[in-house]
Each structure stands twice: as C-alpha cells, then as structure tokens.
Amino acid sequence: MWSDNEATHDLLGFKHLVEAVNTILTDDDLLPATVGIFGDWGSGKSSLIGMLRERLEEDKETLVLSFNGWLFEGYEDAKLALMGTIIDELADHKKLTTKAKGLILGLVHRINVWRVGMAASRVAAGYAVAGLHGAAAGGALSLPDFVEKAKDVKPEDLKDFLRENDPGQQLRRGVREFRKDFTELLDETKVERMVVIVDDLDRCTPDTVIETLEAIKLFLFVPHTAFIIGADERLIRYAVRRRFPELPGERAEVGRDYLEKLIQFPVRIPAMGRGETETYIKLLLAERCILDDDKYHQLRECGLNLDTSIDASLDRASVEKAIGAKLEQDLDEAISLGDQIAPVLAAGLMGNPRQCKRFLNTLLMRLEMARAKKVALKRRTLAKLMLLEYMKPESFKELARLQAAQAGKSAELAALERAQLDPSVEVKPTVDDKASKTKAGTPAPESAGPGALAAWSTDEWLGPWVRSEPSLSTDDLRPYFYFAREKLDPLVGVTLRMSPEAQNALAKLLGPTAAERMLVLQRAPQMSPADAAAIFEALARRTREAESLGMTDGPLPRLIELVDARADLFGEFITFLKSVPDARVPFGLPPRLAQLAATPERKPQAIQLLTQWRTSGSGQLKKTAATALDQLAK
C-alpha cells in the first residue's frame, strides 16, 4: 500500500521545480517574496513542498518554519494564529539575547492585546444585536459622535485627538510597530533568511484563507522573509470572491488580480503526461518488489530522466538496463501490470498522482482481503475489472448482473470477446437480452450472442477494454465481484472517490442556480474521464432513489444534460436506462433520447432501447417511443 501523505522521495520529476524555487528563495535581492505552489487536488503540491523544505534546510543560513491554518480553524483568528506560531517557532529555534527576549515578549503582548480586543468586539457585536449600542460597548466613538467631538478640536491638537479617538489610526500604528519590532527581532536573532511554509490553505474556509494572506502582507512581509503557499489557486480565487463580493469588475478578474498582488512567483504543477503517468505507476509497483535501495534508486533515476517530449515510459529493456540484471518474477509481474493499467489510468485520471495511488491501493487491498479468505485472485484480471468499475461504473454493474445469473461466466461477454477478436463477426444488438441468459449454475452456451453487451462493441472505450488482455470469459468472475460489493451497493456514496473539483461540480449541477449549472456543463468536456464517470454515477444513483422521475426537475434532467455535454457517457446512459423499470420511465424521455442519439454510432443503441419501450412500456411511453423511432429513421 502507498501512503496518501507527501512523498519522501521524488517519483514525479519535481527536481527542476525544486531547484527553480530554491534559487528564488536564496536570492536575498528578491526578498521579501511570496511563492505560490499551485496545483489541482492530488497533483503533488505537498510532495513538492516537502522536497523544497529538505532542499532549503541544507542551507544553514535559512530558517524554515511551517504553519497549517487548517489546524487552528475554529479556535482563533487566522492572522493572530499565524503571527503567534512564527514568534513561537523563532523562540524555539534560536538562542535569544536579552534584547531578543524583550522583543518577543513585546510582540506576544501585542498579539494578546489584539486577541482580547477581537474577543471584546465580538461581545460588543452580540450586545448590538441584542439592542445595545455596539460602538459604545466597544469603547469607540460612533461616526456622528466622532464628527461632533472633532468640531471643537484645535488644529495643533488634531494629531493627539486622532491618536486617542481614531481606531483606524491606532490599527495602522500597531501594524507599523509590529513590522518594525519583527524586523528588529530577525536582525537580533541573526536570521539570514526565514522561509515560512503555509500548506493546506485550500482546505480552509474563505475567511481563514483571506486572513492568512492578509497577515502575511500586513504584518510579516519584511526583509529577509519568504513565504511558500501551497493551494489550489481556484479555491483562493473563490475565497476572494466570497470575502469581497462588493469589489467592482468581473468576478474571475477580481480573484485573479488579488492573487497576483499577493504572489510574486507563481509555480503551477503541470499534469503528468501519458509517459510520465505510466512511469510513475511502474515506479510505485516496483517499489513493492524485492529490490535493494541502490537498484531502486537507479531505476528511479532512469524513469525520471526519460525523454518526456516523446511521452517515453519505462519498459522492460530500460528497467533491465537500469538495474543491470534480468527481471525477477515479482518485478516482471509489476512491469506487466503497469503496462496493462497505466495507459488507461494515464488517460482517465489526467495525470493525477493521488488518484493513481488510490486505484493501486484499492487493488492491493482487495488482493489482501482475498488472501485472508484463501481466495486466489489474478492481479491482472482484477486490475482489468477495476478499470471497468472505475471508468464505466454502469457497465460494471451490468456485467456484475450478467455473470451472477450465469455462475460467474457471462455468455454475452464471451461472444463479445470473440467478435472483437474477429472483425468478420457482426455484432447485432437484441431488443431483449433475456433469451440469451441461462439459469444460474448452468454453463453458458457457445451459441449465445452479445445481447445486453452488444453496444460495447461500438464504444470507443469499452471496445478496446474488451480486446485488452487478459480475456475474462473463461474465468469465474464471482470472487472478483464479491470483493467489489461496496461499489455494487446503490446506497454507498460515490463521493468517497470523487475529487473536490468533481464534488463541487456535482453540487452546482444539483443546485438551484442555473448559471452555475451551465458553467459546469460548459466545462464538462475538459473534466477527466474519472471525474465525469464519478459525477455520472452519483447522478444515476440519485435518479434511482428519486420518488418519481420528471423531465424538468430532479436528478434525471441533470443526468441528461451531463450526457449531452460528454459524448463518451452516452453508452453508460443507455446501460443505466436499461436498469430502470419501464413503469418508471417518463414518457417525455424517448424524444430527448432521440435528440442525444443523432450521430450514426449512437443510433443502434438508442433504437434497441426505444424498441423495447415501444413493446413493453406504458401506453403513453409506447406512443412517444414509436415517435422517437420514426424520428431516428429519418
């Protein structure tokens, strides 16, 4: 199994990014500076930051500190938590002179005064809500009182009056004094440069995000300091829009401009390409093999130095050359497994390291569960089925249903495999696949046709999947589906494997705002296939659970809109609709299905389902299905 925490060694080829950022942070002419490490969920931000920390700590003149705002959230103000943490860390890391101790005590005292003041203002706000005068409770003049009192102030006394009565001036003076004392403290403790790492900022609420960034700029952005901020920049932009809705300009521009003023050096982690993803998966698998540290290091260096411009990846020849020996059985199986699953994961997961790890962890966990039950599972067979489960969940459920009715060996899958291997065999869908099924416990007849799986032959993903090794039709698949039962349970939440971006998209699709829904649908073609499949599965589950299916409200219209935006989901949609009882199908669905099936490759699947509805549906459904069939025949 592989930890979901930051990597301890580089498997992602981040060395060039580490060196580039290190050059910035160790150039005193560029300080103070703020570096943003930006990337999607699971892209490797924390791993890159961990490698940067190790690299920076090699320099004895650099003091590296860490702050995680998420840990303090809900307990105290993020600005004060950040400032207090840095002061505490400085006190722990440096021998303090008498002057330095005095400066620290002064800074801590100022932070505590602000903390008490903020608590008092919250109490005052509570009194104000209850009907008392909040400003009076807080000890400050209201605006009318302030103007009235200022009328009698002589010009020569104005400065003293403002110092005593203007809270804004007191705050500005407090900020200046804090920065002055903080700068003096760094000089007194002989800190050549201080680098503060702020990670997991995108886990925090919008208020905490903004307070942390404000603390950096207002109080801590002084000579000899640098900040590394790890976050998904889209979530920071979202936090800005939430915190400052009144700012003029386009909402997207406001978030971008705010971020650009705070971050001088943005570093965006690119998604891994196909070759890089394949190499990453193979290095992870090889990590579990019996290799000494030197050989694994050589293999890792070989993988990270491949020519990325041609999407090169580790193959048997390069592995043997790297370790200077023939492949042992476990390493040979690891490379074989990587050859099988890496290309599909590379395309489906859009180069996301965390999702690759989660897929491999699930695979190994099921192998361990099977071993504990003394059940023998073939790794490559399990991996192939898991690819179907991950990328085409509705098709996975359909195969589960078929194999369960036929003692683990689907006659439809066997016929489809034969047809895919022999292009001369024509695959024709049937209106009703029930005739091709056998009773549970009896062998599947050789004459059986693809039936319910016929549409797979024209699907651009399922067709190659059927042709890929190993063949599944000769294996008893029941043990494999047994250990995937949690995915077959319609009550299990699919959000367990959804990325934050996919969860956010799902929430907007189901939300009340049409503009947000349309924006998600416009961006749907750019989603990774894995995210699109997960959102589809979540909407399909909600549709199954809905009390009634309507064509205007509820999850079904959202599901149709998603399929309209993502052509690769049409086959899954047909498979899902076959599982819906005809009595529940709304009569408005056939015309909409005909619109979705306007292209030649989709028509056969739609015609098969519409013919079924015309034959066995309710009276109104039969009529609309017949009309839709006429529409497709034109």
More confident residue, 223 or 618: 223
For the stretch 409-453, pLDDT in tens is: 999 999 888 887 766 555 554 444 443 444 444 444 343 456 668
Q: Phi first, then psi: what are they for 267, rounded to 5°? A: -125, 110
Give the pLDDT of residue 536. Answer: 92
Give residue 252's domain range.
16-77+191-270
Three-state DSSP class for residue 450: coil
Residue 465 Cα distances to 378, 420, 448, 462, 576, angstroms: 17, 10, 21, 5, 19
Task: Report if pTM > 0.85.
Answer: no
Q: What residues are paired with 36 via a beta bridge?
A: 229, 266
Q: Which residues pair with 63 in a beta bridge?
A: 194
Contact 31, 344 (CB under 8 A): no
Please work out, in degrees rounded to the nearest 5, the angle formed at the alpha carbon of residue 199 by the alpha carbons of 281 and 4. 30
The alpha carbon dihedral of 323, 326, 330, 332 has a sign of positive
Distance of CA 633 to the CA centre of its chain: 43
Pairing of strands 193-198, 62-67: parallel
Q: Would you state the structure tokens that stand for residue 270, as one six-digit string? A: 């690119």
Q: What is the pLDDT of residue 100?
A: 84
Q: Within a domain: residue 158?
A: no
For 487-515, the three-class secondary structure string (H helix, E strand, C coil) is: HHCCCCCHHHHCCHHHHHHHHHHHCCCHH
> How many Cα atoms are found within 13 Å in the side-chain-facing hemisphere of 506?
21
Of the ranges 145-154, 329-338, 379-388, the best mean pLDDT one: 379-388
Q: Is residue 146 part of a domain?
A: no
Residues 299, 286 contacting (CB under 8 angstroms): yes
Other C-beta atoms closer than 10 Å to the C-beta of 32 total 17
Share of the chain above pLDDT 70, in %: 79
Q: Is residue 598 part of a domain?
A: yes
| 35 occurs within a structural domain | yes
Q: Tens of pLDDT along 360-402?
A: 888 889 999 999 999 999 888 898 899 888 888 889 988 998 8
Task: Classify residue 363 by burial, with Cβ atoms within 10 Å: 0-12, 13-18, 19+.
Answer: buried
DSSP string, 530-591: HHHHHHHHHHHHHHHH-SS--SSSSHHHHHHHHHHH-GGGHHHHHHHHHTS-GGGS-TTHHH
Q: Which own/partner pairs from 49-54 qualify as long-range (CB within 8 Å, at least 24 positions apart)?
A: 49/6, 49/197, 49/199, 49/228, 49/230, 50/6, 50/7, 50/8, 51/10, 51/14, 51/18, 52/18, 52/21, 52/22, 52/197, 52/228, 53/197
Query: Is 73 domain-assigned?
Result: yes
Q: What is the pLDDT of residue 250?
A: 55
Amino acid 385: pLDDT: 92
Residues 242 and 10: beta-carbon distance below 8 Å = no
In a domain, 223, yes or no: yes
pLDDT at 87: 86
**Distance, CA of 99 to CA of 59 (rounded, Å):** 26
Assess contact for 108 and 100: CB atoms under 8 A.
Answer: no
**Which of 386, 319, 321 is CA-nearest to residue 348?**
386
Pairing of strands 33-38, 265-268: parallel
Question: What number of residues does the chain have?
Answer: 634
Contact between 141 and 165 (Cβ < 8 Å): yes
- Do 46 and 293 contact (CB within 8 A), yes or no? no
Half-sphere exposure of 347 (CA within 13 A, CB side): 8
Rounded-to-integer distance, Cα 181 and Cα 179, Å = 6
Q: What's the number of domains the chain is made of?
A: 2
Residue 421 CA to residue 444 CA, distance in Å, equals: 19
pLDDT at residue 444 in the model: 41
Condensed to tens digits (0 to 9), the pLDDT of residues 123-141 reads: 333 333 333 333 333 444 4
Q: What is the pLDDT of residues 156-189, one digit of tens each?
A: 665 665 555 544 445 556 677 888 888 888 888 8
Q: Among the three residues 241, 270, 299, which one is the final residue of a domain in this structure? A: 270
pLDDT at 422: 67
Q: What is the mean pLDDT of residues 313-336?
A: 84
Percent of the chain surpassing pLDDT 90: 15
For residue 587, give both structure tokens.
């009569």
The CATH number linked to 69 is 3.40.50.300
pLDDT recorded at residue 526: 86
Task: Examine the pLDDT at 239 and tell me if it is beyond 60.
Answer: yes
Name beta bridge partners: 267: 37
DSSP state of 41: T
- Last residue within a domain, chosen from 240, 270, 300: 270
Which element (helix H / strand E) includes 53? helix 45-57
Whole-number Cα distances in Å, 495 to 2, 203, 205, 307: 21, 17, 20, 37
Q: Give residue-wise pLDDT tens across range 61-100.
A: 888 988 877 776 665 677 788 888 888 888 877 677 888 8
- Rounded Cα gap, residues 400 and 224, in angstroms: 62
Residue 577 has pLDDT above 80, yes or no: yes
Structure tokens at 201: 């900022």
Edge-first strand order for the sheet with 225-231 is 62-67, 193-198, 225-231, 33-38, 265-268
Q: Which of 24-33, 229-238, 540-549 is the least confident region?
A: 229-238
Residue 548 and residue 541: Cα distance in Å, rounded? 13
SS3 for 628?
Answer: helix
The pLDDT assigned to 134 comes to 36
Q: What is the DSSP letter of 43?
A: S
Three-state DSSP state, 391: helix
Is residue 459 one of the residues assigned to a domain? Answer: no
Provide the pLDDT for residue 592: 93
Least confident of 201-205, 549-553, 564-568, 611-615: 201-205
pLDDT band with cut points at 50, 70 and 90 for residue 60: confident
Q: How confident is the model at residue 573 (pLDDT cuts 50, 70, 90)?
A: very high
Mean pLDDT, the chain, integer: 79
Evaluate whether residue 49 is within a structural domain.
yes
pLDDT at 512 > cutoff 90: no
Instruction: Provide φ and ψ at 78, rounded to 5°.
Output: -65, -35
**Boundary (domain end) residue, out of 213, 236, 270:** 270
Q: Which tokens belong to 608?
A: 């098969």
Residue 92: count other Cβ atoms within 10 Å of its Cβ.
8
Amino acid letter for position 495: T
Q: Which two tokens stand for residue 427?
A: 């695959």
